[in-house]
Chains A and B, each alone.
Chain A
Amino acid sequence: MVVLKELPTEELFASGHRLCAGCGEGIINRMTMKALRGPTVIIAATGCNEVASTIYPYTSWKLPWAHIAFENAAAVASGVVEAYKAMARRGVKQGHIDVVAMAGDGGTYDIGIQALSGAMERGHDFLYICVDNEAYMNTGIQRSGSTPHGADTTTSPAGSVIPGKPEWKKDLIGICAAHGIEYAATASPAYWNDYMTKVRKGIEVNGPAVIDVLSPCPLGWRHESARSIEMVKLAVETRYFPIYEFERGKYKLNLNVSKPKPAEEFLKAQGRFSHLFKPTYRKDVIDEIQQNVDANWNRILKLCAN
């Protein structure tokens, strides 16, 4: 549990970055930095976060930070972790350094899943944060394996025949859990305490840990910038994005939603689903999404009951 009064006042993620107004990533970066345990190195995948925070010769990062490519944050982090250990064996005097990898859903669910799988299997000690805004937002809103069913993106456009993305969001936590890692969790920046506690937990675990944190994107989700946190709160309140964790083989629901709002409330608040409401009300698709939300919630409850 993180105590607000005890949070460090130091900002390791400096203002002046060029993320969009209302972007979840800036908020998540700041929370992440304040939850660190000590000396830390950040390894970033290509994406909005890197593009907007390190335009040469400027940087927003007041700690060692490296971006290598799109699909390999987990592989690079593996090398960093093992190199510090090897140099310590050689006799280099250096205290413990935590390693945190940050990537988007494109770099995690899709192109980076192999590198992440390999790193989890090998058991390197680092925290991997997937800043999940549910599409390739950096390149102009193309669908990813994380994009929800029915969402309108530039490569899953809502057309007269196909109403947005036909496929469903991948179960990232399930994939991580199947690797037998010690810790994996979902989070929403609307619940800062929950997220920051999980970041610290993920760092403290001796081995790989993964957090999938939902990140609102005013540009891609098409909502007002001022309503970003409201969106990711609604995602939880509708049970669209359940907040839970997998720790040492046990699932636990962190935020119970006893009286869920209809999924429709989450959908109609965002332009990426507007084609489900106008010109025709697509009850069929909305019902399908609601059924999927219910089924997913029940699936997670069942996992948590074991």
Chain B
Amino acid sequence: MTIIGMTGDEAVAHAAKQSKVDIVAAYPITPQTIIVERFSKYVADGEVHTGYVCVESEHSALSACIGSSLTGARVFTATSSQGLALMHEMMYIASGLRCPIVMGVANRALSAPINIHGDHSDMMGSRDSGWVQIYVENAQEAYDWTIQAFRIAEDKDVQLPVSVNLDGFIITHCMEGVDVLGGNVIAEFLKTRKPLFKLDPEKPVTVGALCFTDYYFEFKRQQVEAFSHVQGVLDRVAKEFKGVSGRSYSAIETYGMEDAEAAVLCLGSTAGTAREVAHTLRAQGKKVGIVKIWLYRPFPVDEVKAALKNVKALAVFDKSISFGAQYGAVCSDVVSALHTVDKRPRIFNVIFGLGGRDIKPSDIEHVFNEALETTKTGAVKQETLFLGVRE
């Protein structure tokens, strides 16, 4: 065991380095910048064979990544917020051309008004772009998932890009102890990428052809098929990863759900605070629990259903707004996953943390108490609770 103190950004950079990526094409943006700064230093110091393409925009970053990926190379990039928004067009193409690129996303609010702090508006805005989406709770998870992401992305049954999402500043800039694996362990775990096709003069292929009404739909259906393989591959990869790291991962993680009547469902760093609060409340005899989503796309419907089967009241946390919709993105997914279940919890949506607004243990305790109240009354007081906002 080698524990190194590093920020979430550093952990991602370190994981990408150990994953022996061939290309990093990226553009700096707060709070992701540390990732590309660290990586450029690895290149400058000759620690990696990687080609670092220091492009002039995020649009070109992902464009260059797609070109690199099509040659059969292992490719990594990272961005945040406005940068991710600028990549939006290319995200669909990366997925449609089945490029297994791994991208670290330092989640940050979207302008306007401009704000550099963490929320999930950026990735939620691209949630239908055909990327596998993983949200991490801390620097250790950022490191572990970045490594596993390459295996999932490059699996022959998947061949899809993967984003590893870490909360801006809370994870990206917070120094934590990270258990780092040996380079040879990771090399053995990942092996080299084996592309199904590539730009090879020996065996020419045409990539990115024009597909009209007669073929386009079939290509999209194939992407859906690839998404259906993700969870199986993830479980297999996670099992192997446990073998080398001792750490267990899957689509979701639960705490206290074996007997919880009131629960909180959330993504990312919030789960850490929520777990701590749940721990205290459980010590007081309150039946509360949490469901943390690691794998947000594809949405782990069966796991979420199973985890919530005995819950009477559920608060779903959304760190972004879906303007004009009934719920935030995560809550919509949960409601949709549960709509075929006969015995389902009363659900309310908690919109919180926008633009980096702090979420305190007392805030989460308040939500748990609301949920506990609902278990008794059977009624939801407020369908959408804007937590921590001045109104």
Contacts and interface: CB of A to CB of B under 8 A. Distances in A.
A69 B73 CA distance: 20
Given A79-B25, A82-B64, A89-B49, A54 B209 contact: yes
Interface string A59-96: 10111111111011001111110111111011000000
Interface string B40-60: 000000000111011111011
B208 interface: yes
B205 A75 contact: no
A11 interface: no
A63 B68 contact: no
Contacts of B202: 39
Contacts of B111: none
Contacts of A44: 208
Contacts of A55: 209-210, 212
Interface residues of A, number: 44
B223 to A, nearest CB: 15
B327 to A, nearest CB: 33
Interface in B328-367: none
Contacts of A118: 55-57, 60
Contacts of A66: 67, 70, 199, 206-208
A76 B73 contact: no
Interface stretch (B89-97, B224-232, B233-241, B245-253): B89-97
Contacts of B65: 79
A82 to B, nearest CB: 4
B59 A71 contact: yes
Q: Interface residues of B toward A: which range?
A: 35 or more
B201 A97 contact: yes
A113 to B, nearest CB: 11
Interface in B153-188: none
Contact of A40 (B53, B201, B205): B201
Contact of A90 (B25, B49, B75, B201): B49
B107 interface: no
A69 B68 contact: no
Contacts of A296: none
A270 interface: no
Contacts of B210: 50-51, 54-56
B199 A76 contact: no
Given A71-B59, A117-B56, A80 B208 contact: no
B209 A86 contact: no
Given A68-B66, A75-B55, A83 B22 contact: yes
A114 interface: yes
Contacts of B56: 114-115, 117-118, 121
B102 to A, nearest CB: 15
A300 interface: no
Contact of B72 (A39, A69, A87, A89): A87
B211 interface: yes
A62 B206 CA distance: 8
A22 to B, nearest CB: 21
A87 B212 contact: no
A254 B208 CA distance: 36
Contacts of B89: 69
Contacts of B280: none
Given A72-B59, A72-B60, A82-B68, A65 B206 contact: yes
A65 B208 CA distance: 8
Contacts of B192: 90
A79 B250 CA distance: 33
A233 B178 CA distance: 67
A122 B67 contact: no
B391 interface: no
Contacts of A304: none
B212 A83 contact: no
Contacts of B90: 68-69, 72
Interface of A: 39-41, 43-44, 50-51, 54-57, 59, 61-69, 71-72, 75-80, 82-87, 89-90, 97, 114-115, 117-118, 121-122
Given A68-B63, A78-B55, 15 more contacts: A43-B67, A55-B209, A56-B209, A64-B200, A68-B208, A72-B63, A72-B90, A75-B59, A79-B25, A82-B23, A82-B25, A82-B53, A87-B71, A115-B59, A117-B56
10 contacts: A69-B89, A71-B59, A78-B60, A79-B53, A82-B23, A82-B68, A83-B72, A97-B201, A118-B57, A118-B60
